[in-house]
């Protein structure tokens, strides 16, 4: 169970929130117990000073945000999961689908809609929860 994680860990990444068929709405269900059990475990960890974040993606998780409608679905689904379970933030672990278009060569100022929308969505989510919101990312390098 989540509450049985070693007390040596300060930040616990829960894996994984993954998209459904539309590739923009993130879904998550605990693999043990009920939602109430899982929420209780998160509350317990937080009472011990731990931070609990939801990791999005993983090897099988694909997020595609080609337009504003997809971006809005992503934002709404992430915020819903954070509010439902009490996560302290998100960890972005996207291992596919986050490439710049061929003519988009400035990664500091991208024009690829998928990337622009992902950055915008993450900023919106982060701004919504304020300065204590935790955000981490494992950037794809290959």
Catalytically annotated residues:
95
Q: Which backbone phi and psi does 54 adopt, to 5 degrees?
A: -95, 125
Phi-psi region of 93 (alpha: psi -120 to 50; beta: other; left: phi over 0): beta
Helix 68-85 and helix 113-129, axial crossing angle in degrees, nearest 10: 30
List of residues 6+ apart from 71 with CB closer than 8 A: 24, 65, 117, 118, 120, 121
* DSSP track, 7-51: TT-SEEEEEEEEE-TTSSSEE---SSS-HHHHHHHHHHHHHTT-E
């Amino acid at each position: 169970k989540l509450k049985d994680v070693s007390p040596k860990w300060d930040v616990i990444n829960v894996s994984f929130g993954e998209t459904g068929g539309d590739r923009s709405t993130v879904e998550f269900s605990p693999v043990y117990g009920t939602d109430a059990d899982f929420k209780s475990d998160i509350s317990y960890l937080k009472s011990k000073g731990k931070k609990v974040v939801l990791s999005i993606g993983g090897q099988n998780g694909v997020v595609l945000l080609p337009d504003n409608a997809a971006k809005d679905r992503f934002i709404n689904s992430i915020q819903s999961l954070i509010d439902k379970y009490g996560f302290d933030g998100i960890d972005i672990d996207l291992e596919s689908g986050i490439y710049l278009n061929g003519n988009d060569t400035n990664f500091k100022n991208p024009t690829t809609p998928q990337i622009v929308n992902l950055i915008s969505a993450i900023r919106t989510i982060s701004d919504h929860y304020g300065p204590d919101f935790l955000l981490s990312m494992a950037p794809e390098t290959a």
